Structure 1
Amino acid sequence: MSDLWKSILLRPDQAIRECLEILDKGSLRIALVVDDAMTLLGVLTDGDVRRALLRNITMDSPVSDIMTTTPVTADQHNTRKEIVELMEQKQLLVVPLLDGKTLVGLETLLRSGSARTYDNPVFLMAGGFGTRLRPLTNDCPKPMLKVGDKPILETVLRGFKNAGFYNFYISLHYLPNVVRDYFGDGSKWDVNIQYVLETEPLGTGGALGLLPDDMPDLPLIVMNGDLLTQVDYEILMKFHTKNSSQATMCVREYTYQIPFGVVNGEGNQISGMIEKPSYRHFVNAGIYVIERALLNKVLKNQKMNMPDLFEQCIEDKKKVLMFPIHEYWLDIGRLDDFEKAQQDILNLDL
């Protein structure tokens, strides 16, 4: 047991936003809520925050509004073997240690990023022209632009590899040989890479129709190849599977503020005024999980965007879910995004 738990403590009145900083920066994926006497009041996990986002709870609300008040705990005098058995039984990675009601430590079920592997295929979209990033993309596909010391697409691939995924498909169209010559068959990264070539641009979902028929009957992760993110792909996959979803879309919370006072009225009579209101929405984050059977809905060489496929599923009464992400996420679509990525990469564990 180390003292790492002391860095993940929160007071009950601290904002959820502060909890996010702990969850995103730390490796334990948990925050502990205590009072001044170090009494354990509750715990917060990644799942608690995602559920709060779905309930439209603001990030400035106190953590006491969403924390789990009856967490699984262990007595500090229990042996590590007993605590590990408890964690395995409850499928937990960490358990707070108590002396009575007082928090005195945290036991962890250590695991490495590569401890478990997933046969699920990962489909990375890398065929776009990147016109908004010209002249940088005149001779280089956008996913192959370097952020830090490596191409964006390599950072994406390494993220999946560290999470245990090794079976990759990459869609190509613009300057395809630049990608193929760099990655080859993936053996340099100890992964398998196969390529799908779009002779004409097919949209963000159309390339799904070019995937081979012998793919495993497992959920498929689809992701734009120009994203930088710290999303936990294992948690995403478990969410999709546990909820028996047919299609899951990662979403980001987007808030915008009208810089003027909004006036409501009927005819010429004012019924109310709101000064500079803010509106919150979920937006598509470009990361998806879909069931293998949905590939049959995309015909070969059929133009389609991923939202179109989701719309079809909704019309067919399939179970379609959204997975809110609070982790770092950046869509490198414009030159200012690219410049921001160069700064962010210095402080990110990617």
Structure 2
Amino acid sequence: MLTIKSLIIHSSATIRDAMACIELSAKGVALLVDDEGRFLTTVTDGDLRRAILSGHRLETPIMEFRPPTQKSVTAPVGTSRSQQIKIMMDAGIRHLPLLDSTSAPVELAMSDELLTESEPVQAVIMAGGFGKRLRPLTDNVPKPMLSVGGKPLMERTIESLQQAGIRRINVTTHYMPEKITGYFGNGNQLGVELSYVSEDMPLGTAGALRLVNEVDDPILVMNGDILTNIDYRSMLDFHRENSADLTVAVRQYDYQVPYGVIEAEDSVVKSLREKPKYQSLVNAGIYLLEPTVRRHIPLDTRYDMTDLIDTLLSEDLKVVCFPVMEYWLDIGQPEDFAKAQEDVYKPRWAA
């Protein structure tokens, strides 16, 4: 059982400290307090993602980009449930710290727990691939049905979507579709509405979206071979805040050159960097797009998300990236599958 102490970080905390706190509590927020335990401000996963996109390092102190002058909405402990909901709805927030007479946080109200409405989002899980790189594991079962920690990978994905309030889910199938449809049926046993889209030929990571029934809500698309505990609600909030046409989830990828790198002009050496380390943002295989974007996808043609993003950019539509701070693993190789068995949501930012 989580206590308020598990949500608290102190004024000397870094981005890494806040990430660890948020991931371990799974509440999407940390509460920053001073040396006397008095509440200063909230630090949400959205704050951290924006800080990373702005170029801040993991060791950057929270106070450097989230000073206490940025006041957070709070309420006194004992505030009624209905009033808590009203305060959060009026302020457009998901977390409401409840403070005692000394300004110390003693409880945290969350709109996700007080409200039970489904999110107005339709999800699409791409589960039609052959999983060739995972053979022989996929000789008799499609990759999303591989067992991870005692249950199919796709079952873990559906459970995380359901917990985020996403109830309408489409599954695109091609390779051994009966293994998927026979196991999940209509999805009622998992608290969701499952529909299936069969690809007569592989249509790529975007092409199958033209086969999904038209909707007026945003569409969350994800590859079926991903193990993650990403916060889908935060991604939706981020997408809305940025008024994006398409949001692509990204991971920070570090790579180190194993040699000394020389920078030269003609034959004149200007600098030498020994085994430099570089950082890049890489595609995490999870996308959120407005329904109008589907008209840019050709019918009955193989078309990948990278093609769609290129098209949107060429037409000056807004594509933004959402940093994934939570656990994420692309199960593409046998060694990835072995790692998934070991991890099964081990906190990535734990010390």
Structure-2-length-normalised TM-score? 0.90
Question: Aligned residue pairs: how many?
Answer: 343
Counterpart residue identity of residue 322, structure 2: F
Cα distance change, pair 42–241 in 1 and its aligned pair in 2 (3 A): closer
Q: Any residues of structure 2 matched to 1:272-291 within 5 Å, and which?
A: 272-291=271-290
Paired residue for 1:159?
160
Paired residue for 2:71?
71
Q: What does the per-residue CA deviation read over 1:11-56, in whole Å, with 9 as the maximum and x for residues that have no partner?
A: 3333311210111111432222334333444431111101011112
Kindly report the root-mean-square deviation, in angstroms, between the aligned alpha carbons of the 2 structures: 2.3
Counterpart residue identity of residue 150, structure 1: K
Counterpart residue identity of residue 232, structure 2: Y
Paired residue for 1:123?
124
- Structure 2 distance, partners of 1:168, 1:103, is 42
Q: Contact conserved, 1:75 with 1:98, CA < 8 A, in 2? A: no
- Structure 2 distance, partners of 1:4, 1:200, is 51
Q: Any residues of structure 2 matched to 1:45-60 within 5 Å, and which?
A: 45-60=44-59
Q: Which moved more, 1:83-92 or 1:257-266?
A: 83-92
Q: Contact conserved, 2:172 with 2:199, CA < 8 A, in 1? A: yes
Q: What does the per-residue CA deviation read over 1:233-270, in whole Å, with 9 as the maximum and x for residues that have no partner?
A: 12212222232211111111111111222111122221
- Structure 2 distance, partners of 1:347, 1:268, is 49
Structure-1-length-normalised TM-score? 0.90
Q: Contact conserved, 1:223 with 1:286, CA < 8 A, in 2? A: yes
Paired residue for 2:9?
10
Paired residue for 1:227?
226
Residue 320 of structure 1 and its aligned partner are, at CA, apart by 1.1
Counterpart residue identity of residue 263, structure 2: N
Moved over 6 A (4+): none
The unaligned stretches of length 5 or more in structure 2 are none
Q: Any residues of structure 2 matched to 1:280-319 within 5 Å, and which?
A: 280-319=279-318
Q: Percent identity?
A: 35
Counterpart residue identity of residue 300, structure 1: L
Q: Any residues of structure 2 matched to 1:186-225 within 5 Å, and which?
A: 186-212=187-213, 215-225=214-224
Cα distance change, pair 34–238 in 1 and its aligned pair in 2 (3 A): closer
Does the residue aligned with 1:80 lie in a helix, a strand or coil?
coil
Q: What does the per-residue CA deviation read over 1:171-208, in whole Å, with 9 as the maximum and x for residues that have no partner?
A: 11111111111112222223222211112211111111
Q: Which moved more, 1:234-243 or 1:307-316?
A: 234-243
- Structure 1 distance, partners of 2:3, 2:345, is 23
Q: Contact conserved, 1:113 with 1:163, CA < 8 A, in 2? A: no
Q: What does the per-residue CA deviation read over 1:71-128, in whole Å, with 9 as the maximum and x for residues that have no partner?
A: 325475x64139725344323322252545x535234246439812134221110011
- Structure 2 distance, partners of 1:109, 1:309, is 36
Cα distance change, pair 340–62 in 1 and its aligned pair in 2 (3 A): same
Q: Contact conserved, 1:130 with 1:137, CA < 8 A, in 2? A: yes
Q: Contact conserved, 1:114 with 1:163, CA < 8 A, in 2? A: no
Q: Contact conserved, 2:33 with 2:41, CA < 8 A, in 1? A: yes
1:134 aligns with 2:120: no
Q: Contact conserved, 1:156 with 1:228, CA < 8 A, in 2? A: yes
Cα distance change, pair 7–189 in 1 and its aligned pair in 2 (3 A): closer
Paired residue for 1:238?
237
- Structure 2 distance, partners of 1:57, 1:339, is 33
- Structure 1 distance, partners of 2:96, 2:304, is 40
Does the residue aligned with 1:317 lie in a helix, a strand or coil?
coil
Does the residue aligned with 2:121 lie in a helix, a strand or coil?
coil
Q: Which moved more, 1:3-12 or 1:14-23?
A: 3-12
Q: Contact conserved, 2:327 with 2:345, CA < 8 A, in 1? A: no
Residue 227 of structure 1 and its aligned partner are, at CA, apart by 0.9
Q: Contact conserved, 1:123 with 1:220, CA < 8 A, in 2? A: yes
Cα distance change, pair 325–176 in 1 and its aligned pair in 2 (3 A): same
Cα distance change, pair 41–260 in 1 and its aligned pair in 2 (3 A): farther
